[in-house]
Amino acid sequence: MNHLQSLDYVVFFIYFIAVSGYGYWVYQRKMYHQKVAGTMDSKDFFLAEGSLTWWAIGASLIASNISAEHFIGMSGSGFALGLAISSYEWMAAATLIIVAIFFIPIYLKNKIFTMPQFLSKRYNDTVATLMAIFWLLVYVFVNLTSIIYLGALAINSISGISFEWCMVGLGIFSIIVTLGGMKVIGYTDVIQVLVLIMGGLVTCYLALTLVSKHFGFGGDILKGLSVIRDKAPTHFHMIFDKSNAYYKDLPGLSVLIGGMWINNLNYWGCNQYITQRALGASLPTARKGILFAAFLKLLIPLIVVIPGITMYVMYQNGMFQPEMADAAGVIKPDHSYPTLMNLLPAGLKGLAFAALTAAIVASLAGKANSISTIFSLDIYKKFFKKDATEKQLVRTGRITVVIAMLLASLVAPALRNLDQAYQFIQEYVGFISPGVLSIFLLGFFWKRATSGAALTSAILTIPLSTFLKFLPGWSNGAFPDLPFMDRMTLVFGILMLLMIVISLADKRSKVNQQVVIIDTKMFRCSPGFIVGSAIIVGILAALYTVFY
């Protein structure tokens, strides 16, 4: 039944009031302190400098990362591919540890507030500006657009509210949260994470209960888990071989030693949207927050992938046939999660609805804040008003939030024809990932890397990725049709080699080298961080061993 009942609305409005009220309280406290200090600090607005605790940083990382693309897109991929799609989450947990050890100390030591600022300091303004433009385009027209589209689609299927009004509502709610600045986003994200985990677990519980009952085991969720593994054994392999129909989406060992690392290191280590949460904190606080996020990452497949696999098993056994198809009768994996949510009883459906909304709004707010940060500090202040005051920067940031949300909402309906939106997002963000990661890695750890080499990588990453994507068709199959992860690995290797050759060929590179402070002592970690990291790596090793 595609509508919410009175109790659902009550639960949802409790969530809405809790988030809005808490956000308003945090905002008022921040404004009071600014008045006392007599300043309006742009760094406070964009970064919440020094005011986020480790648990707020960790929660905000996850809230900003988890969105409709996970609840709807990843659950749909669970229906189609199975547990293997969890590699995006589980490998992210390992990646976060690397980012905490090696990336964050460099940013904090060099007082970096935006990714283009690092590129400007390490290379030059041309590289920084080009990448800032790339990031803005990807953030607005891929990330923000897909989040709005999938979020509106999900809420429409659950509530019956029109797709267009769902987009409007999500946009307005997100703008309200974003305009308060990073501190408001960071602390309201704690509520968002609690709600999305509770709501996600409720939906997972329902899915396993349904399958358990259908096969005569009552409401035993452990039996339900056993049933879906028995009925869909191919959906519980983490590493695909070439005979698998979805090998191109997750090409075998590339998820462990290839393109998945490029995808994740770029996303978690070189991405304003993510790193921004930790850039205003001390190193110990930032590391604790990132480690907390890594632990939360281990839970995400339970919340979104298992329900998708459960829907696959029920569909294969004659259940939910009409719900999983579109008007033309074509199976739509992305219908999995909304179909499950519509089966929840009153009240619990409201909680799941609030969880989904929390994920969408938190992600939209975080993305919009990063867009406004890059535009205000790296475009507006550099090229439009070099003497901009703190107040003008904050105002520009707020205007940018509104414009970005409007642009994304206008483009979002164009995504209606996608079957698996999650794969679409990963592939097309992957066009820029190899170039970004090569620029950052060599910028961090190789002093000879030049601005000319970085500029070459920045300019070639999209054309080279595009060329390799369409080359099999242009060559009538003479060139292999590579999975996009392997294509990312190939592009990354080519760009790294080009950067090294160009840098070595530039005899002036030692003279032109920009200074980035790196002290090996800052890579040392506390005993607590080492123990936590070892636990995460051990859990990952066990998961990949059991489900290989």
What domains are defined for the chain? 6-417 (1.20.1730.10)
Q: Report d(CA 391, CA 388) in Å as an integer.
A: 8
**Is the four-CA dihedral 488, 92, 349, 8 of positive or negative sign?**
negative
Q: Report d(CA 113, CA 405) in Å as an integer.
A: 23
CA nearest neighbour of 22 among 425, 462, 468, 358? 358
User: What confidence category does residue 83 fall into, taking pLDDT thresholds of 50, 70 and 90?
Assistant: very high
User: What confidence category does residue 187 fall into, taking pLDDT thresholds of 50, 70 and 90?
Assistant: low
pLDDT at 290: 94
How confident is the model over 199-237, as pLDDT tens digits?
A: 788 888 888 998 898 888 887 888 988 999 999 998 999
| Residue whose pair of structure tokens reads 């009175």 in the numeric block | 6
pLDDT at 511: 46
How confident is the model over 500-546, as pLDDT tens digits?
A: 999 998 876 554 455 677 777 888 999 999 999 999 999 999 999 99
pLDDT at 87: 92
How confident is the model over 95-123, as pLDDT tens digits?
A: 999 999 999 999 888 888 888 888 988 89
How confident is the model over 456-476, as pLDDT tens digits?
A: 999 999 899 989 888 888 888
pLDDT at 357 over 60: yes
Cα separations in angstroms, 35 against 73, 184, 281, 394? 44, 17, 22, 15
The pLDDT mean for the chain works out to 83
DSSP states along 425-489: HHHHHTTTHHHHHHHHHHHHH-TT--HHHHHHHHHHHHHHHHHHHHHHHHTTTSS----HHHHHH
| Residue whose pair of structure tokens reads 């990291």 in the numeric block | 533
Name the percent of the chain lying above pLDDT 70.
Answer: 89
